[in-house]
């Protein structure tokens, strides 16, 4: 992407933000779509009682329905998770409008798509609107069963942490370089 020019900094920044927003929305749409498609296939092809091993006992396919959050915590508060997920999804919409880099567009898109993928289950899956159970099918040993939205959320959060740490390192390096340059010019 071109850097903002001194002649038109606001227009260039606005174009960059709009392009980054579209990239964020596209990543989110792909993630949410892939998540919902994979869940539809899982509902059609998998069983709650039989596990299909993919990597021995470490990874397999088995259908599960989660009324709670990660590790089925809060099973009796499904409606609270629906409200929280909706707030997060709308909140990310506002954050996405301020993104100006491709790396952050992808990162936020992964998180947004994962949040929307699981929110759709909460809104439209059984047992009813706003109380729906999240469809899971990726069995990680005997630890937990998740889905593609969960993977996108975790990867997005890890990338967010890495981008934040990298940005701090880059800022510190730039500041040290500027200080060193100023010191050399003073002599």
Question: How many CA atoms does the CB half-sphere of 24 hold within 13 Å?
Answer: 26
Confidence of residue 70 (pLDDT cuts 50, 70, 90): low
pLDDT of 17 reads 79
33 part of a folded domain: yes
Q: What is the arithmetic mean of pLDDT over 67-78? A: 62
pLDDT of 184 reads 61
H/E stretch holding 186 reads helix 148-186
Secondary structure of residue 139 in the 3-state scheme: strand
180 part of a folded domain: no
Q: What angle do CA 165, 107, 81 make, to 5 degrees?
A: 105
Which structural domain range is residue 49 located in? 18-164
pLDDT of 125 reads 92
pTM above 0.85, yes or no: no
pLDDT of 9 reads 47
2 part of a folded domain: no
101 part of a folded domain: yes
pLDDT of 187 reads 56
10 part of a folded domain: no
**Residues known to be catalytic:** 136, 150
Looking at per-residue pLDDT, the higher value among 15 and 158 belongs to 158
Secondary structure of residue 33 in the 3-state scheme: helix
Q: Tell me the percentage of the chain whose pLDDT exceeds 70.
A: 75
Lowest mean pLDDT among 17-21, 46-50, 74-78: 74-78
pLDDT of 82 reads 84
pLDDT of 84 reads 85
pLDDT of 80 reads 81
Residue 161's CB is within 10 A of a number of other CB atoms, namely 11
125 part of a folded domain: yes
Count the domains in the chain.
1
pLDDT of 18 reads 87
Q: What is the arithmetic mean of pLDDT over 155-165? A: 96
Confidence of residue 130 (pLDDT cuts 50, 70, 90): confident
177 part of a folded domain: no
Residue 21 has pLDDT above 50, yes or no: yes
């Amino acid at each position: 992407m071109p850097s903002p020019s001194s002649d038109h900094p606001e227009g260039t920044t606005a174009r960059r933000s709009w392009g980054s927003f579209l990239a964020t929305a596209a990543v989110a749409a792909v993630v949410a779509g892939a998540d919902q498609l994979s869940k539809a296939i899982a509902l059609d092809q998998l069983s709650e009682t039989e596990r299909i091993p993919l990597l021995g006992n470490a990874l397999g396919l088995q259908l599960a329905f989660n009324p709670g959050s990660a590790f089925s915590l809060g099973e009796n508060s499904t409606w609270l998770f629906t409200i929280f997920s909706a707030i997060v999804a709308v909140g990310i919409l506002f954050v996405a409008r301020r993104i100006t880099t491709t790396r952050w567009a992808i990162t936020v898109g992964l998180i947004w798509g994962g949040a929307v993928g699981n929110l759709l289950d909460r809104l439209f899956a059984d047992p009813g609107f706003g109380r729906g159970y999240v469809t899971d099918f990726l069995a990680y040993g005997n630890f937990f069963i998740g889905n593609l939205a969960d993977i996108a959320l975790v990867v997005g959060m890890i990338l967010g942490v890495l981008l934040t740490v990298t940005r701090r390192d880059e800022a510190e390096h730039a500041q040290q370089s500027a200080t060193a340059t100023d010191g050399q010019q003073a002599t």
